Amino acid sequence: MPPGHRLLNETAVNQRLTELEEACRADTTVHPLQNMPKWMAKTSATREEQRQAELAVLVHNLLVVHYAKPPPPNAVAGVLTTKEIMT
């Protein structure tokens, strides 16, 4: 991992995603956010890219947690329901 970078827990990722979504909504108005955190991208285009990356982290984490569990006895290979992923 590059210096100055650190892994974030799920709570921190969710908080950043919330802040990024707020910033992206503000980008579409005439009143963009002021005093953005240092970790947040500086332009509207890169903030949207960053938001997509944060979403990918959340999906990845959900999949890691899901596949770390043993499959249910009636599981069919390759078929997952939303309920199975979220539990």
pLDDT at position 62: 79
pLDDT at position 75 over 80: no
pLDDT at position 61: 79
How does DSSP classify residue 77?
Answer: T
Q: Residue 13 CB: number of other CB atoms within 10 A?
A: 16
Question: How close are the terminal C-alpha atoms of the chain, in Å?
Answer: 30
Calpha distance 14→62 (Å, rounded): 12
Looking at every residue in the chain, the average pLDDT score rounds to 77
pLDDT at position 85 over 70: no
pLDDT at position 8: 72
Q: Is the pTM of this model over 0.85?
A: no
Radius of gyration of the chain (CA): 17
Calpha distance 17→57 (Å, rounded): 10
pLDDT at position 41 over 80: yes
